[in-house]
Amino acid sequence: MVKDILTAVVIEDEQESLQLLKSLVTSNGNAKVIGATSNPEEAIDVIELHKPDIVFLDIKMPGKSGFDILDDLRKIKSVNPYIVFTTAYDEFAIRAFEYAAFDYLLKPVDPERLAATINRCEESLINGSEQKAEVLLDNYKKLLFRNISGIVIINPAEVVYIEAEGNYSSFRLSNGRTETVTVLLGKIERQLPADKFFRISRTYIINIDFLKKINSRKNKCILYTNGLEFGCEISHDKIKILLDLLKKTR
């Protein structure tokens, strides 16, 4: 049964930030703060004592980071709150994704953004979600990567293919745009839905939703989108594997 109001614990090392976030959560009306601390060493005890629905967890703290606290928290089976990281540094966004946080809020926290997070948390409880530390990628259906100018957000459904270029990888998107990121193709492959993406060679990963045909004589996959056609070389030994995958998914 879903609670009338969500319960929250706030972990912030600065008192001013702690009081501000407590005030924002309380004024939202759909959640109440039942515990808080500015000492990261006390965080686990506070969370275990109150067993909240949500923990708003600062990332950059002296002595113990939010990531360290989450590592410790996952060892405790009696509590499993939604984790919402808070930080003034957007450089931690990708690592927050990797830690499967429920959400990620940049300071100063925007009240509307906070309200959206609380609403999603409430919806997840209503839906009976068993995995409370939901992956942000699942929430937003997006991928986050670094590029030379910062962080790029990519929707997997828009990816036609990905090409390795040395220490970089280039995403060819269905709208014609190309995004180059500073991530090796192998690492990207592990983050993609296995039923939609297939690595056809050392150089290419393709989205099979855009696959038009396989030219076995020239060892090429032909992809098509929005009037554009692309040819990506496929290793000969991968052709049969790809065909078997297509039989299972179509």
Residue 34: its pLDDT value, please?
96
The confidence score (pLDDT) of residue 93 equals 65
Residue 130: predicted pLDDT: 46
Q: What's the whole-number average pLDDT of the chain?
A: 85
Sign of the torsion formed by the C-alpha atoms of 192, 196, 201 and 205: negative
**What are residue 222's DSSP bridge partners?**
213, 231
pTM: 0.56
Rounded to an integer, what distance in angstroms lies between the CA atom of residue 69 and that of residue 61? 10
Task: Report pLDDT for 81.
Answer: 87
Encode pLDDT of 11-23 as tens digits: 999 999 999 999 9
Asked if residue 117 has pLDDT above 70, the reply is yes
Compute the distance between CA of residue 66 and CA of residue 9 in angstroms, rounded to an integer.
13
Burial of 106 (0-12, 13-18, 19+ CB in 10 A): middle
- Comparing 11-20, 61-70, 125-134, which segment has the lowest mean pLDDT? 125-134
Q: 107 near 98, Cβ under 8 Å?
A: no
Query: Cα angle at 71 between 65 and 75, to 5 degrees?
Result: 145
Q: Which domains does the chain have, with CATH numbers?
A: 6-139 (3.40.50.2300), 142-249 (2.40.50.1020)
Min mean pLDDT across 9-18, 46-55, 198-207, 241-250 is at 241-250
Confidence at residue 91, expressed as pLDDT on a 0 to 100 scale: 65
The token duo for 237 is 């030994």
Tokens 């745009």, residue located: 177
Each residue of 86-110: pLDDT tens digit?
Answer: 888 766 666 666 555 677 888 888 8
Render pLDDT for 194-216 as a digit per residue (tens, 0 to 9).
Answer: 889 999 999 999 999 999 999 99
